[in-house]
């Protein structure tokens, strides 16, 4: 699929301002769309929007489901307007950080009350819409809702610790639990209905303002997810449903022991025999919500690194061939053109590049990873081409002022020359330089436009605490910043 020359902003939904302690899909999101439109941007990119697992640090890349939305993003004021929820008395939340435990407790109580209000007083057309949603999405929603209800009811760490009858999905046990937990199952379905209704309204509003939504898809799913529990045959698991191999990457210049991600790897032979049905459904769900989406760790489709599950590091793994072209051809045959960009960072082989280019997927370039003294370096703006999606910084890197501050004196001198630095705001020089490259799409984190340093970083890979919490202030939706970005965007012919 070909893309037009355009630009956008990366900001996860959770980082929006608002009174709920976390970003929501209602007025805060619409005000951000207004900012983007005023800045003449075309795209809004987020992290994955699934329901996050507190046991995994609330990372959006380790969700309970590859299909469900995060109920924490539901706009409560719209439920008050619907008459299902009484006027809210909100706690005082931190404006700059998401306090996940407090937010989760507050949101869950409010959503429970709204569900009870809907059951008591929902209009006939609303009830019909909910029942239609349940029926239309039963292929993933029924298992997801039961999984979350069981998680609460059984109160153990993961589904692998559940009683054998439900762990191994005995049909009689599943029927029994569906009956016993019927109210909680229905509540989980209600939360997804509200999420998807609000998301659809937001997407319509964004489109009316010329903004497309860009999602993100991690290649792997968490072990403690409904996807592994309900589809064990498509993962490399043993007879006890424990992973036999887990994902990671081998040792490199950055880590002597590699990175052990720990998620189960796919049984691609089984998936191929099923014409990749689970993946087709996953892509279809993304296309229902997003105009474009990024594939994280794209290399894993060409070849993936698997580590025996009993290993403590990633040192003793092996590379295994992935599904390659067969996979993307099968998905394209069933869904049509795929509006995909890919994360192709790190050590990428010729075979990975060939797979990427065969389907016209633009790959990533990140200014914050450049050798500024080498114009031929992959991430130096002088080397970007039309098949690039260029970033000043990403959710996994320092902010642009942050990585500038960490440069050596020599690199800083080369940077100043490369971006034609002329005033104090060198981060704006970097933004403008990236915007003016041939890259077909450019992005910057929202923090970059305000010159915010590394104390405003969103995520530090390899650390378990303190990530994913950053929030913008409402005052940072500054018309002067939007005007400056619009000017840069027009001059770069991206408006």
**Residue 131 among the catalytic residues:** no
Candidates 75, 151, 184, 343; catalytic one: 343
Q: Which residues contact 64 (CB under 8 A, 6 or more apart)?
A: 50, 51, 52, 53, 144, 147, 148, 151, 222, 224, 225, 226
* Burial of residue 102, with CB atoms counted within 10 A of its CB: 0-12 exposed, 13-18 middle, 19 or more buried: middle
Task: Report d(CA 401, CA 404) in Å as an integer.
Answer: 5
Candidates 20, 196, 227, 396; catalytic one: 396
The owner of tokens 């996994």 is 396
- DSSP class of 235: B
The owner of tokens 């409010």 is 110
Candidates 78, 151, 184, 296; catalytic one: 296
Q: Give CA 24 to chain center in angstroms.
A: 15
- Residue 397 in contact with residue 462, Cβ under 8 Å? no
Instruction: Give me 78's structure tokens.
Output: 């719209």
Which residues in 24-52 are b (16+ Cβ under 10 Å) and which e? bbbebbbebbbbbbbbbbbbbbbbbbbbb
Instruction: Give me 413's structure tokens.
Output: 């001198």
Instruction: Give me 216's structure tokens.
Output: 């993100």
**Residue 476 among the catalytic residues:** no
**Residue 201 among the catalytic residues:** no
Instruction: Give me 359's structure tokens.
Output: 């389907």
CA-CA distances (angstroms) from residue 75 to 25, 33, 185, 302, 418?
6, 16, 21, 40, 44
Give me the active site residues, please. Answer: 296, 343, 396
């Amino acid at each position: 699929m070909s893309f037009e020359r355009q630009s956008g902003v990366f900001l996860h939904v959770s980082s929006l301002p608002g009174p709920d302690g976390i970003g929501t899909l209602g007025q805060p999101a619409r005000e951000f769309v207004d900012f983007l439109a005023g800045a003449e941007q075309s795209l809004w990119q987020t992290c994955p929007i699934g329901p996050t697992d507190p046991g995994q640090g609330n990372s959006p890349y380790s969700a309970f489901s590859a299909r469900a939305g995060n109920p924490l993003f539901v706009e409560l004021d719209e439920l008050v307007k619907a008459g299902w929820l009484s006027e809210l008395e909100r706690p005082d939340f931190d404006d700059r950080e998401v306090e996940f435990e407090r937010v989760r407790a507050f949101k869950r109580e409010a959503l429970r009350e709204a569900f009870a209000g809907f059951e008591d007083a929902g209009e006939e057309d609303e009830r019909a819409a909910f029942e239609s949603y349940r029926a239309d999405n039963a292929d993933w929603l029924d298992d997801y809702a039961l999984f979350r209800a069981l998680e609460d009811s059984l109160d153990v760490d993961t589904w692998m610790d559940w009683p054998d009858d439900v762990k191994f999905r005995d049909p009689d046990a599943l029927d029994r639990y569906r009956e016993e937990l019927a109210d909680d199952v229905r509540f989980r379905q209600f939360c997804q209905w509200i999420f998807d209704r609000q998301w659809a309204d937001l997407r319509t509003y964004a489109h009316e303002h010329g903004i497309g939504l860009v999602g993100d898809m991690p290649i792997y799913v968490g072990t403690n997810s409904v996807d592994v529990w309900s589809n064990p045959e498509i993962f490399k698991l043993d007879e006890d449903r424990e992973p036999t191999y887990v994902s990671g990457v081998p040792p490199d210049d950055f880590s002597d022991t590699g990175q052990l991600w720990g998620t189960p790897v796919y049984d691609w032979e089984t998936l191929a025999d099923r014409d990749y049905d689970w993946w087709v459904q996953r892509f279809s769900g993304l296309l229902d919500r997003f105009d474009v989406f990024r594939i994280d760790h794209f290399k894993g489709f060409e070849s993936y690194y698997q580590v025996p599950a009993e290993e403590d590091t990633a040192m003793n793994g092996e590379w295994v061939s992935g599904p390659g072209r067969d996979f993307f051809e099968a998905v394209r045959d069933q869904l049509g053109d795929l509006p995909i960009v890919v994360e192709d960072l790190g050590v990428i082989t010729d075979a990975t590049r060939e797979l990427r280019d065969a389907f016209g997927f633009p790959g990533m370039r990140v200014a914050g990873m450049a050798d500024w003294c080498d114009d031929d370096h992959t991430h130096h703006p002088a080397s970007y081409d039309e098949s690039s999606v260029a970033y000043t910084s990403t959710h996994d890197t320092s902010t642009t002022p942050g990585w500038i501050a960490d440069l050596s004196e020599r690199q800083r001198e080369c940077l100043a020359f490369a971006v034609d630095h002329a005033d104090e705001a060198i981060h704006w020089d970097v933004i403008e330089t990236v915007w003016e490259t041939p890259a077909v799409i450019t992005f910057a984190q929202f923090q970059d436009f305000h010159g915010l340093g590394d104390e405003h970083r969103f995520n530090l890979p390899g650390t378990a605490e303190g990530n994913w919490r950053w929030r913008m202030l409402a005052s940072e939706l500054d018309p002067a910043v939007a005007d400056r970005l619009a000017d840069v965007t027009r001059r770069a012919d991206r408006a």
